[in-house]
Amino acid sequence: MKLRIVAISSFLGLAALLSSLSGCDSPRTAPRGADNLELHTGRLRQANPLDIAVLPVQNNSGNEHVPLDLLRSAFHRGLVRQRYTPLALAYVDSKIVEAAYTPGDTDENAILQVFVTRWDDARWKSSAELRIDGEVYLLDVGNPDPTKALWGGKVSRTVSMLARRQVVASDGELLGEALQQFADDVLASLPARNPEQAP
C-alpha cells in the first residue's frame, strides 16, 4: 500500500513538472504595437504634450480613393485612448488656412501628422483586407521637424476584417472599423501620457 502511494505521488510530481515546462515553452503574446519596429520615441516624456492638433492626413500614395477624413478621425479617437487630448477637428480646420497655418496657432502642445504612402485595397472586396503604409509623427510645436519628432516614423500594416464582415451592417462601417484598428495598432506604440506631469 505504501509503495502504491509513493508511486502515485511520483507520477503527480512528474506531471506537474512537465506541465510547468510546457508552459515555459508556450509562446507569449507580444504587446500590441510591438511590431511597429520603425516607430521611435524621442523627447516625448520630457515634453509630455496634452493638447494635440491632428492635422489633415496627407495622401502621398497616388491613390485618390484613400478615405483621408475617416483615417484622420480614427487617429483622433485613438489619441484619447492614450490619455492625450486631441483638439476638435472642426476647431483645427477653422485655424488652418492653406499655407498660413503656423504650429501653435490652435494653442496646441503638439501636432500629429499622418502621411499615407501606400493604400492597397486590391483584396478588400474578396477578403476584407487592407495594406496601408505611411509615416506618423507627433511633433513639438516649437520644433516641428520630423527628424526630431517626439515620437513617430514609418509604419506598414495589413488589416484583415474578414471575420467582422458577417456581422457588420455595411461596407462603409466595416471600412471605418478597419481604419480604427489600423490607427489603434499604430498608436499602441505611442507611450501613454503621464497625467501627473505638467506639459
pLDDT in tens, 62-78: 999 999 999 999 999 99
What's the rounded mean pLDDT across residues 37-59?
A: 91
Q: What is the DSSP letter of 50?
A: -
- Quick one: cell of 44? 516625448
What is the reported pLDDT for 34?
Answer: 64
CA nearest 77: which of 158, 180, 176, 159? Answer: 180
Q: Where are the domains of the chain?
A: 33-187
Query: Which residues does 93 contact at the CB level (< 8 Å), separation at least 6?
Result: 56
- Provide the CATH number for the domain formed by 33-187 in this structure: 3.40.50.10610
What are the pLDDT digits (tens) for 148-192? 999 999 999 999 999 999 899 899 999 999 999 999 999 999 998
Q: What is the model's pLDDT at position 131?
A: 97
Mean per-residue pLDDT of the chain = 84
- pLDDT given for residue 196 in this prediction: 72
What is the predicted pLDDT for the residue at 194? 78
- What pLDDT was estimated at residue 9? 47
Q: How far is CA 154 from CA 50, 106, 108, 123, 166, in A?
A: 23, 26, 24, 23, 32
What grid cell was written down for 185? Answer: 495598432
Per-residue pLDDT, averaged over 135-145, amounts to: 94
Q: Residue 29 and residue 23: Cα distance in Å, rounded?
A: 13
pTM score, whole prediction: 0.81
Q: What's the Rg (C-alpha) of the chain?
A: 23
pLDDT exceeds 90 at position 106: no
